[in-house]
Amino acid sequence: MPYFDAASAAPLHPVAREALLASLDEGWADPVRLYREGRRARMLLDAAREAAAEAVGCRPDELVFTPSGTQAVHSGMSGALAARRRVGRGLVHSAVEHSAVLHAAEVHTAAGGTVTQVGVDRTGRVAAGEFAAALRADTALACLQSANHEVGTEQPVEEVAAHCQEAGVPLLVDAAQSLAWGPVPGAWSLLTASAHKWGGPPGVGLLAVRKGTRFAPQGPADERESGRAPGFGNLPGIVAAAAALRALRAEAAGGADEAARLRELVGRIRTRVPELVGEVEVVGDPVRRLPHLVTFSCLYVDGEVLLQELDRAGFSVSSGSSCTSSTLTPSHVLRAMGVLSEGNVRVSLPYGTDEADVERFLQVLPGVVRSVREQLGVPVEKPEKPAAAGEETGLVVDALGRRCPIPVIELAKVIGRVPVGGTVTVLSDDEAARQDIPAWCAMREQEYVGEQDAERGAAYVVRRRV
């Protein structure tokens, strides 16, 4: 059964499994103790730290293990911000960071700090110059992911790191999605990652703080992991995580170019899904991207139903559609990119994905999308009744109380009833409409006029162009 959600969690690498088993026997004791079981645990911990540091490209004493990538981000940000409090309280990050960064930024704001978000283009990429321009004299910390977790777009980390260095601002790189594929280049100051994204077990993250970076750990003191990760460490998990990372690097060095193989498979999905399905927007940078991840959105499709149908067909994928989130808002990444969020599917291929599974996905997907669209009564391609001269030039569609993708479907149904130059106004209180109506206009080459206040929700005005 093909599992295509490696960006959430990857199955355990076989080497990690072996290392975990071995360290359950050898690595359960407290590595700070001086007796033989403690010394053995200490040796395992030291070896794991060296392996991880080598894969990250830092010194072993610059790297600590945390209980998760999220906690690495939280600790890294709070420690760096606190250490530079006298410099200022400014925090700069891209608009498409992982929620771990956004949540830590909220805490910073609540404590009186200021946050500057740097926007992205339609591919989800920040412009290095724009990022540099956001750095100010009072900027204490900048955060930029190495690659986006939802759309796979790589960020210009090396260039941004150079700008940060010049400005004297430490840069924290969230490398959760990319570390499996190689170290992050450039003069970053802090780096975080999460083992269960690279085939390690859950329960292990890492935080690297390069020498010379001011750092003041926050929260209660603890002597373990240089005071940067409180509590008794998950040593068997750490050993397994380091073993998996070392194995990935060794396989790559040995000529097994899994990244290139997955890149080609993802390329097929990028090319063929629009051809096979129709009314699809493939998002993210087509070239500067993670090898294993692709996201596309299908017009007139309910994301949650699509995921359920794909699951029934045997495919496990993820989505950034509003209907798949607990808050009923679309993914902040897709919103920042200004792209369609409805019918959104993220495919992220685990290491070793079978090519035949990808082909089968491409066979199954069109039928699944068609059936979901049929259930929703999606309009036919051509307007049923071409608008004649003299017909009403303004139409109002009431989609209040109806959720994504219904407002867009209702718009598409009636656009043909107004003449070219006429407008359709969609009343909607669905958060996704704010994003998806403009995105639909861009895809269909209609003009998005704008949003107006309404008694309930908002009124979205569209002018027919074609």
- Sites of contact with a copy of itself (CB under 8 A): 1, 3, 5, 8-12, 17, 20-21, 24, 28-30, 33-38, 67-71, 74, 99-100, 103-104, 106-107, 194, 196, 201-205, 219-223, 230-237, 304, 307-308, 310-311, 315-318, 324, 326
The distance of closest approach from Cβ of residue 104 to a copy of itself in the complex, given in angstroms and rounded to an integer, is: 5
CB-nearer residue toward a copy of itself: 159 or 357: 357
Closest separation between CB of residue 205 and a copy of itself, Å? 7
Residue 19 sits at the vertex; the CA angle it makes with 14 and 24, to the nearest 5 degrees, is 130
CA distance 233 to 398: 56
Side chain identity, residue 206: L
The token duo for 30 is 């407290």
Q: Cα(262)–Cα(268) distance, rounded to whole angstroms?
A: 10
Map tokens 């049923």 to a residue. Answer: 384
Provide, rounded to whole angstroms, the least separation between the CB of residue 400 and a copy of itself. 27
Q: How far is the CB of 78 from a copy of itself (least distance, A)?
A: 8
Nearer to a copy of itself by C-beta: 96 or 105?
105
- Find the shortest distance in angstroms from Cβ 288 to a copy of itself: 27
Q: Closer to a copy of itself at the Cβ: 35 or 212?
A: 35
User: Do residues 343 and 302 make contact, with C-beta atoms less than 8 angstroms apart?
Assistant: yes
From the CB of 13, what's the least distance to a copy of itself, in Å? Answer: 11
Residue in 164, 163, 155, 238 with CA at minimum distance from that of residue 194 = 238
d(CA 272, CA 388): 37
Report in angstroms how near the CB of residue 360 gets to a copy of itself at its nearest.
16
Give 34 or 466: the residue with its C-beta nearer to a copy of itself. 34
Q: Among residues 315 and 440, whose Cβ is nearest to a copy of itself?
A: 315
Query: Which positions ≥6 away from 453 have C-beta within 8 Å?
Result: 459
Task: Report the C-alpha gap between 11 and 15 in whole angstroms.
Answer: 12
Q: Please say whether the beta carbons of 217 and 207 come within 8 A.
A: no
Q: Which is nearer to a copy of itself, 57 or 227 (CB)?
A: 227
Q: Which is nearer to a copy of itself, 11 or 57 (CB)?
A: 11
Closer residue to a copy of itself in complex, CB, 6/412: 6
Q: Which is nearer to a copy of itself, 39 or 456 (CB)?
A: 39
User: Cα 393 vs. chain centroid, distance in angstroms?
Assistant: 42
> Facing residues of 453 across strands?
458
Catalytic residue list: 323
Please, are residues 262 and 349 in contact by the beta-carbon 8 Å criterion?
yes
Kindly state the smallest distance separating residue 67's Cβ from a copy of itself, in Å: 3
User: Least CB distance from residue 72 to a copy of itself, whole Å?
Assistant: 9
